[in-house]
Structure 1
Amino acid sequence: MALIGILGALGGILMLLKTPLPFMPPFMDFDLAALPEIIGGFALGPIAAVLIIIVKLLVKLVILGTSTAFVGEISNFIVSCAYVLPAILIYDHQKSKKSALTGMIIGTLVCTLAAVISNVYMIIPFYTHMMNLSLEAIIEMCHAVCPLVNNIWTLALFGVVPFNLIKCGVTSIITFIVYKKISVPLKKFAGN
């Protein structure tokens, strides 16, 4: 439990250390908050990964609160689970570098699909309602960054998809490089 708390807190802190990507929609910020989730999940299993995600979101809420009436946090929970759970379940079936890599690739694809669905049907409609903005205003804001964005589906295709492929891809590469080096101390700390 202590390791889950530590990794969740680290995820919450990493969630605060975000940076915009210059070629992405302005409301999408890059962070490495999924790193402790996937590493903790590989070391401790899928239930631990879900608990790490929950702790991460609680830490974020305690420090910053919510600016989205919890819709952003719910979406983050869904997308985070969509990334880490397929990867962990595949890796748990056969613990090897190949299965970890395969799992992270599949997790990246599942996460990207979940992000498209949650953005198109939950996040963007919520923002239009809460911020008293029209969908056209959001599309126009995104069009200024990427001229290919003309409607909600091109926003998903040219904004949400590449953003999540980049975010999960970078997290997967870092995990692939560091996991084996830190898995033994993590498991010893956890008592496995």
Structure 2
Amino acid sequence: MKDDNMPLAYCRRFSLHSLVLTGMLGAIGALLMVLEFPAPFVPPFVKFDLSELPVVLGGCMVGPGAGAFAAAVKVTLNFLFNGTTTMGVGELANLWGSLCYVVPAALFYGRRRTKRAAAQALLWGTLCASSLIVLGNFFVFFPAYARLLGLKMETVIGMGHAVNAAVTDLYTLMVYALLPFNLFKYGVTSLLAFVMYKRLRRFLRFSGEER
């Protein structure tokens, strides 16, 4: 990765090539959403997948707007082809998580494009996503999920308690289940993105300054 002083150009650059690239990465993200796995300490409706990997790669290559576009493509395609079992709440929560991850990471990396800055950007994205997703789930998505599916919040909490004894209410569900899950999910994604980024740029022969 090589340093440069072009953050404004980086944020504005969104050519047709970039549009196609980020759309393609968003489509790959939609495919990866299908390959989901249960985690041992969260409710069964919370699954682990690597769908954020192509999204954050696109955001770092092109900019935060491109990353947000890739996230929207990912969620929209998944919704169109696989439908929803959560009345759309899960899809909105997934989009929220993607934006909370890719936008801070891409903005940070756009300021100074070095290998060290890349690691810091991905760490920042992981921390932002992990914390903001918890807030979104606590105040919006979990209450909406329970309301729209006709469930009592106690039922949702019970799902968490069944796999994690530390979960006794909505607050402990967030702190002892969702927060560590998010740190693990986005931490693994960030590690893979850090390893793959430069190789992917070379493979795609992406134009612009070398990172």
Per the normalisation by structure 2, the TM-score is 0.86
**When you count helix as a share of all residues, which structure comes out higher?**
1
1:37 pairs with 55, 63, 67, which one?
55
Q: Any gaps of 5 or more consecutive residues in structure 1?
A: none
> Aligned equivalents of 2:96 and 2:161: distance in 1?
27
> Aligned equivalents of 1:185 and 1:95: distance in 2?
19
- What CA deviation, in whole Å up to 9, does each residue of 1:134-184 have, x standing for no partner? 111111121110000000000000111011001100000101111111112
Q: Is the 8 A contact 1:21 1:29 kept in 2?
A: yes
Q: Any gaps of 5 or more consecutive residues in structure 2?
A: 1-18
Instruction: Indicate the residue corresponding to 2:148 in structure 1.
Output: 130
Q: Is the 8 A contact 2:86 2:149 kept in 1?
A: no
> Aligned equivalents of 2:120 and 2:105: distance in 1?
7
Q: Is the 8 A contact 2:30 2:75 kept in 1?
A: yes
- What CA deviation, in whole Å up to 9, does each residue of 1:51-97 have, x standing for no partner? 10111011101111222332222221121111111111111111111
Q: Is the 8 A contact 2:26 2:55 kept in 1?
A: yes
Say if 2:27 is the partner of 1:9.
Answer: yes
Task: Give the paired residue count.
Answer: 190
Say if 2:102 is the partner of 1:102.
Answer: no
Instruction: Indicate the residue corresponding to 1:61 in structure 2.
Output: 79
Question: Identity over aligned residues, as a percent?
Answer: 39
* SS, match of residue 175 in structure 1: helix
Say if 2:177 is the partner of 1:162.
Answer: no
Q: Counterpart amino acid of 2:198?
A: K
Say if 2:88 is the partner of 1:70.
Answer: yes
Q: Is the 8 A contact 1:12 1:33 kept in 2?
A: yes
* SS, match of residue 43 in structure 2: coil
